[in-house]
Structure 1
């Protein structure tokens, strides 16, 4: 009985970890995302009952997937943060079904789209790299806030009379600098009218853009890229170790095969002598 259970568990584990099953779950997540998006259009409202049935079907598939993973991995399932993320989304969807918390349920339904990250390894790698970069990004963001504050104070002091709609007070200056930071219509909308009144204002805007948009953002992107490379190297090292182990297993199998051949030859020789 134990052997039969072990064999069944092995088959389930192989099925859950197979590429075909992963591709199927990814396809279901994408279809679920498309159906949620289509529901936002008014001309799909007459077909709401169809979308409700589809949503129930998708949720049932996700529940089966989760159950299979739990049956195979058991307590190890909750040691993986991505598994916990999946569990919260699916469990939350089930708990909130047929309740008055419709708005919260909608949020959980939309969050199911994020399960694409858990099903695609390359996306998980990028997100992991992003989380690894949080300490460095936090330091960069604090530095950016200081720079924003300094430039906001300077802008309010010198440009409040020239352009009160942009630099009338500290709050407006922060909003104006954020628009400048995004490079959205900063030249024609903000800079040129001020430049017509104050010739040195170009130095203020250009220095701010160079420091915040070019230097700071590149620091953040560079840190994320470095972490992504670290994760890739770790995966390559693990893969290399697996390849070495596989090679050693093949060599051991070849040696065992040779030993079997020698033993069978030796036995045959003894039988012939007798």
Structure 2
């Protein structure tokens, strides 16, 4: 059991699994090219089975080492579900569902690389704040959709003919995709004050709100990093204390030996 534990916690083993996940991702991408997949179909299937077996063995070994504690980590549960789902569905007619599980294996890169785990954790921690920001953005979209439909439904009915079309148009403007030449300038030629509507919407939605979301994620990522550094400092302090205790014990032993002599 000690050998298995040293194996699954070894950095070289984790690097091998990470490389295998990335290699599996490349294979899945190559399968989208019909000429390559049709010519080497057998090789793709054999390699995929070997990779799946290795992933299954990895999960089994980790369960043997950590037992119930394995399922206390959400990332371990994520790995377990993906591997188990792939195994169960491999010989079934549910090919489309199996493909989903095979593609989801790429996400195991997150579980294998600590920095990616921190980023995703920061994203989840920011969900409450992001939800509030999204609610404010929804209100802003709604207000501007009503205004846009009222002002420009006759000038550009294909973009502002009704509130649904206006929502789609605002989303295109929000992404800054061809909004100036395709939407703004034709309206601006007939309505000179249209720049005020478009620019205020872009500044409020695309710049301010997105920066709020990104800022919250960055703050959470920094918080996680600070917590890890704090834990590391505590471990270093404990290690130094243990070294000092060992040194004192050794000195006591030497003192006792000298007195006994």
Same fold (TM > 0.5): yes
1:37 aligns with 2:22: no
Aligned counterpart in structure 1 of residue 58 of structure 2, from 46, 60, 65:
65
Rounded Cα–Cα distance in structure 2 between residues aligned with 1:41 and 1:264 = 77
Structure 1 length-normalised TM: 0.93
Rounded Cα–Cα distance in structure 2 between residues aligned with 1:257 and 1:49 = 65
Which has the greater radius of gyration? 1
Look up the match of 2:214: 221
Once the two structures are overlaid, the 10-residue window that deviates more, 254-263 or 155-164, is: 254-263
Look up the match of 2:154: 161
Look up the match of 1:262: 255
Alpha-carbon deviation of 1:264? 2.8
1:171 aligns with 2:164: yes
Structure 1 vs Structure 2 CA RMSD: 0.8
Structure 2 length-normalised TM: 0.98
1:253 aligns with 2:235: no
Aligned counterpart in structure 2 of residue 137 of structure 1, from 125, 130, 133:
130
Alpha-carbon deviation of 1:14? 2.0
Alpha-carbon deviation of 1:261? 2.1
1:82 aligns with 2:84: no
Describe the superposition over 1:159-191 as per-residue Cα deviations: whole angstroms up to 9, x where unpaired: 011011111111110110000000001001100
1:11 aligns with 2:3: yes
Look up the match of 2:202: 209
What SS does structure 2 have at the residue aligned with 1:64?
helix
Gaps of 5+ in 1: 1-8, 270-274
Describe the superposition over 1:57-94 as per-residue Cα deviations: whole angstroms up to 9, x where unpaired: 11011011101110011001111100000000000000
Describe the superposition over 1:100-127 as per-residue Cα deviations: whole angstroms up to 9, x where unpaired: 1000000000000000000000000000
1:108 aligns with 2:101: yes
1:120 aligns with 2:88: no
Q: How many residues align?
A: 260
